[in-house]
Amino acid sequence: MPELQRLRPDHVPAVLAFELENRAYFAASVPDRGDDYFAEFDARLSALLAEQAAGICHFHVLMDGGAVVGRVNLVDVEDGAAELGYRIAEKAAGRGLATAAVRRICELAATEYGLTELRAVTTLDNTGSRTVLTRTGFVPAGETVLEGRPGVRYTRALTDAVS
């Protein structure tokens, strides 16, 4: 079973390989990050690690051996809440990894990071993501628009982070 690890500088090459290998797959369900994201990847990851050190965000990778098969992030940490984001490699999809990783990040958010609520958004047509959020205790909290596509906002209280 892949292991959820806090992002470290030595993960950077594997994260880049993960993002490049899955770029087209991710772009089918979430907005593409664009060429600049990859051209400035090392600087971007360094900035993320600085944000993590400052407690603004918590970044994680799902490692399977030496390869990244997923990312699970908590961003915009403020007032006991954060925004959840995650992505799983195409070759690892459909194996329950996203559900397991989101459950684990909910536990970490409550026990290690002192958070009391998580928020997430996804597009209406991203059935897989909506299923993961529902399975892990998130509840719909309204409609939204993501890059011109209809979406749903979700929230989850972390008072019972082990469900």
Whether 105 is covered by a domain: the verdict is yes
CA distances from residue 16 to 2, 22, 39, 120 in whole angstroms, order as listed: 18, 10, 11, 24
Whether 25 is covered by a domain: the verdict is yes
Provide the pLDDT for residue 33: 82
What CATH number has the domain bearing residue 53?
3.40.630.30
Q: Which helix (H) or strand (E) holds 38?
A: helix 35-39
What percentage of residues in the chain have a pLDDT greater than 90? Answer: 76
Count of residues in the chain: 163
Whether 20 is covered by a domain: the verdict is yes
Give me the mean pLDDT over the 110-131 stretch.
94
Tokens (6 digits) for 104: 């684990």
Least confident of 28-37, 79-88, 116-125: 28-37
Whether 162 is covered by a domain: the verdict is no
Whether 97 is covered by a domain: the verdict is yes
pTM, rounded to two decimals = 0.90
Residue type, 58: H
Residues 120 and 152: their CA atoms lie apart, in Å, by 8
Count how many domains the chain has.
1
Radius of gyration of the chain from its Cα atoms, rounded to whole angstroms: 15
pLDDT digits (tens, 9 = 90+) for 21-76: 999 998 877 767 878 888 889 899 999 999 999 999 999 999 999 999 999 999 99
